[in-house]
Amino acid sequence: MRIQPPTLTLLKEIPVSILDKFNLRGQVAVITGAGKGIGAGIARAFAEAGADVVIGARTENDLQAVAADVASLGRRAAIVPTDVLDFDQLQALADRAIAEFGRIDILVNNAGGFPPKPALQTTRKEFEGAFRFNVTTAFELSRICAPLMVESAGAGNILNISSIAGHKPTPCFAAYGTAKGALSLLTQELAQEFAPKIRVNAIAVGSTKTDALNTVLTPEVEQVMVDLTPMGRLGEVEDIALGALYLCSPAAAYVTGDVLGINGGLERLNMQMPRAWGGMG
């Protein structure tokens, strides 16, 4: 008697879950300013979404703590002590990513900042320093990493952490606001130039509870800021990390050149700062 071979049943292709669009499995992210605050929060979020991370910051102990969290999520973290103002160290950060993981898929330019300061008390050196810290460093690391992304992964994502101060003017933010405004425009310029291989986006962060904000935050100041925020609270690091995950994941595959506001609905900065000749802005 002839035995018939078993009938092969063709399975229908299983549709991809919408949540899978937020998955970063197999990807590698380079993140600056990753020892604390927003950078550390983004590193943890990316690791939870499946990415390995290369984390840079000036303080190695801070990086060790973040790396331990990443390991607890089952992912790997390469620690690279980095001063972003030293451009040789930026090159070393990118080189370590390739040496350790063989690829770069995501770059997050998070390092930056400058405290509120009256324009007439801000020196030329400080003004130029704010621009270098917030804009030139992001440009240089993007310039370094973009070719490596295309060579190693075929495509990539760059995310710049900007600020609402970059498009909502207020007293005492001439240096920081101008720098972040330039960073937002740089985001849009690079998005045009790097498309379609590399998407470039930014987040316009509002007042977010980090160590940097805590240096000026008293209960009285916090209450004023909360009162001036439509959503009735200050931002949390997780708010920014979730936005970063969206913009750097396949869920945002058709988004580039965008500056996403994550700031509680602010239409102006929620810090009361003095004008040069009296009054509050």
Task: Flag whether 216 is in a domain.
Answer: no
The answer to whether residue 34 scores a pLDDT higher than 50 is yes
Give the separation between CA 21 and CA 267, rounded to whole angstroms: 31
Residue 246 annotated among the catalytic residues of the structure: no
Look up residue 185 and give its amino acid. Answer: L
Task: Flag whether 5 is in a domain.
Answer: no
- Per-residue tokens: 256: 């580039």
Give the separation between CA 103 and CA 95, rounded to whole angstroms: 10
Give the separation between CA 30 and CA 96, rounded to whole angstroms: 10
Task: Flag whether 138 is in a domain.
Answer: yes
Task: Flag whether 193 is in a domain.
Answer: yes
Q: Given the structure tokens 């620690």, which residue do they identify?
A: 79
Task: Decide: helix, strand or coil at residue 175.
Answer: helix
Percent pLDDT > 70 in the chain is 95
Judge whether 240 and 218 are in contact, CB under 8 Å: no
**What's the rounded mean pLDDT across residues 9-35?**
84
Q: What is the pLDDT of residue 25?
A: 97
pTM: 0.92
In angstroms, the Cα distances linking 39 to 69, 88, 125, 252 are 13, 21, 26, 20
More confident residue, 209 or 106: 106
How many structural domains comprise the chain? Answer: 1
> Which residues are CB-contacts of 115 (< 8 A; sequence separation ≥ 6)?
176, 215, 216
DSSP state of 254: T
Q: What is the pLDDT of residue 71?
A: 98
Planar angle of CA 270, 202, 244, nearest 5 degrees: 95
Task: Flag whether 68 is in a domain.
Answer: yes
- Per-residue tokens: 245: 């995950």
Give the separation between CA 8 and CA 37, rounded to whole angstroms: 54
Task: Decide: helix, strand or coil at residue 2.
Answer: coil
Task: Flag whether 214 is in a domain.
Answer: no
Kindly report the CATH number assigned to the domain that includes residue 33. 3.40.50.720
Give the separation between CA 65 and CA 45, rounded to whole angstroms: 15
Q: What is the pLDDT of residue 267?
A: 86
Q: What is the pLDDT of residue 13?
A: 59
Q: Given the structure tokens 């001063």, which residue do they identify?
A: 83
In angstroms, the Cα distances linking 79 to 76, 136, 224, 226, 237 are 10, 23, 38, 36, 21
Task: Flag whether 276 is in a domain.
Answer: no
Task: Flag whether 243 is in a domain.
Answer: yes
Name the catalytic one among 176, 181, 190, 270. Answer: 176
The answer to whether residue 11 scores a pLDDT higher than 50 is no
Write out the residue range of the structural domain in which residue 45 sits.
24-207+235-262
The answer to whether residue 239 scores a pLDDT higher than 80 is yes
> Which residues are CB-contacts of 194 (< 8 A; sequence separation ≥ 6)?
146, 158, 200
Judge whether 100 and 29 are in contact, CB under 8 Å: no
Judge whether 110 and 29 are in contact, CB under 8 Å: no
Look up residue 86 and give its amino acid. Answer: D
Give the separation between CA 204 and CA 233, rounded to whole angstroms: 17
